[in-house]
Amino acid sequence: MAADYTATAAWSAVDARQMDRASQLLGRALYLAGMAKDPVAKMRVWNSYAMLAHHRAEYADAVDAAYAAQGTTIARRQPFFASLAHARTAIGHSNLGDRQAALRSLGHAQESLGKAEKGEPLPSWIAFYGPDGLMAMTAIVRDRIGDSAESEAASHQALRTIPKQFKRNRALATARLALAQLHQRDIDQACSTAATVFTLMSGHPIPGRMRSLLGDYYRDLITLAPDASIAREWGDRYRTEWSRL
């Protein structure tokens, strides 16, 4: 229980982009999971370590953490957990620019998910994952390796299956969709898509991880279309929304 609660606190720190606090909590959670001999908790911690390294742009460390997640007992025994670990590995490889390794890991993730038993009991922390979660992560990988059209398709597929009540997950997938459209130079559509993120999160605080993603979108927008009127309009909306957060 201590490992699980500490891992939850660590994930919250990652989500808020409190990197040093997240690292400290993950170290403690991994120690507690080891003491408890809890393979699910270990898998959870290594998954979060991969996320933390990703947000720190420590991509080699992200790959190492994802491989550690693959090596946990639960990932070796249950394909569902293995699928998530492979998907995390794919993101790490894509950030390193290793196209073939990224696609290979995505293939393993898809294959493992197909082998997972339907309806098996799962801990709440992994409830975000499934076909929709894999498609959302596929969108990240595809965009990172330059396959923006495939990234857009994966984002649309994710949004078709993410439950309507999961507004936060839908907002993240929508931001990724906007990035994929932007990287195809579809400026008008991308700005329209990105604006819906604020609509989806209306009445809710935007967490640090989502703020960072929107910041990535804005930087790419002003790089690719600095003089477009719609880019200036979106920038005004971006700054207005930011002032309210």
CATH classification at residue 185 = 1.25.40
Residues 66 and 16 in one domain: yes
Tokens of 33: 């999971």
The range of the structural domain enclosing residue 187 comes to 135-245
Of 80, 102, 129, the domain-final residue: 129
Residue with tokens 């920038």: 235
Residues 11 and 85 in one domain: yes
Buried b (16+ CB within 10 A) or exposed e, 37-59: ebbbbbbbbbbbbbbbbbbeeeb
Contact 242, 47 (CB under 8 A): no
Residues 108 and 158 in one domain: no
Of 99, 129, 159, the domain-final residue: 129
Per-residue pLDDT in tens (0 to 9) along the chain, 245 residues: 999 999 999 999 998 889 999 999 999 999 999 999 999 999 999 999 999 999 999 999 999 999 999 999 999 999 999 999 999 999 999 999 999 999 999 999 999 999 998 877 889 899 889 999 999 999 999 999 999 999 999 999 999 998 888 888 999 999 999 999 999 999 999 999 999 998 898 888 888 888 889 989 999 998 998 888 888 888 787 777 766 55
> How far is Cα of residue 138 from the mean position of the Cα atoms in its chain?
10
